[in-house]
Homo-oligomer: A and B are copies of this chain.
Amino acid sequence: MIDKHLLKLRRRDLISPEEEVAIRAGVSSIIKAKADTVIARHGATLDVSTILLSGIAARQIEMLDGRRQMTELHVAGDFLDLHSFTLKHLDHDLVALSDCTLALVPHAHLQEITEKYPHLTRVYWFNTNLDACIHRQWVVSLARRSALARMAHLFCELYIRLDIVGLVRGGTYDLPLTQDELAETLGLTSVHVNRTLQELRRTGYVNFDRKVVSVCDFAALKEVGEFDDAYLYLDRLPEFR
C-alpha cells in the first residue's frame, strides 16, 4: 500500500526494517477521495495526517475574491499534511485534483514515533523541510521566471518527483489537471497557460495533451526552466548511511 511512500523516503535516507514496521503500523485506514473534492479544509483541527497513495492532490489557498492559488502539487507517496502534526490545523486547503487513494496516520502514532524513533523523526522532519525547498523554488519561479520558464520548471519538478515513485514511463507521465488548474498552480490565467503550452510544444521539448505530459528532451527542458534538481535532495545523505 505505502510502497511509494517508502520509495520516496529511501531515496533520501536509510529506513531500517524496524522503522518500516512502525510506519506500516501507523496507517489506521485507507480511504478514497473523488476528483475535485476537498480532503481537508484550512482551519479545521486535525488529528490525522494523510499519505497520498495514488492520484494528484494539491495545497491551495483561496483569496477573498474566490481566486485560488496552489502552493504545491502532490504525487503518490507524499505526505499531504505531515505538517498538521505540529500545526494541528492547516493554513491552506487540501484538494484532490484527480480521484485519490489516501492512507490515514493518526497523530497519536506520529507522537509515538517522535518518542521512540529519533532517526525516523528526523526523516519526517526532513520531508516537511523538503516541501519548504519546493515552496522556495515556486517563489523564485513566480517572482522571476517567465511563464514559459515557470511551466518548464514545473514539468521538470514533477518529472523527477514522479520518477522517484516509478510513475514516469518512457519520458511520459500522467498529470490529470485542466488548463484552468494549471493556471492556478502557475500563477497565470488559463488563456495564457494555453498559449504557453503551445509555445512549449513548438520547441519540441515537451507536450501536454489529454492530461499526459510527454517529455521529449529533458535536458533542453531543464535549460528552458533553469531547472537544477539539487533542491530535491536526491542523494542519500552520507551522514545517515
Could you tell me if A144 and B69 are in contact, using CB atoms closer than 8 angstroms? yes
Instruction: With both chains docked as a complex, state the minimum distance between the C-beta of A152 and any C-beta of chain B, in angstroms.
Output: 14
Q: Mark A95-121, 1 if CB is under 8 A from B, else 0.
A: 000000000000000010011001001
Report the Cα distance A115→B226, complex, angstroms: 40
A43, A135, A137: residue with the most chain B Cβ atoms closer than 10 Å: A135
Could you tell me if B142 and A139 are in contact, using CB atoms closer than 8 angstroms? yes
Question: Is A64 on the interface with B (CB-CB < 8 A)?
Answer: yes
Known A43-B230, A92-B136, A135-B136: A122·B86 in contact at CB below 8 Å: yes
Chain A, interface SS category: helix
Could you tell me if A139 and B140 are in contact, using CB atoms closer than 8 angstroms? no
Instruction: With both chains docked as a complex, state the minimum distance between the C-beta of A148 and any C-beta of chain B, in angstroms.
Output: 15
Write the chain B residue with the least CB distance to A232: B91
Interface 9-mer from A20-28, A123-131, A158-166, A211-219: A123-131
Could you tell me if B63 and A140 are in contact, using CB atoms closer than 8 angstroms? yes
Question: Is A201 on the interface with B (CB-CB < 8 A)?
Answer: no
- CB contacts under 8 Å to B, within A144-199, are 144, 186-187
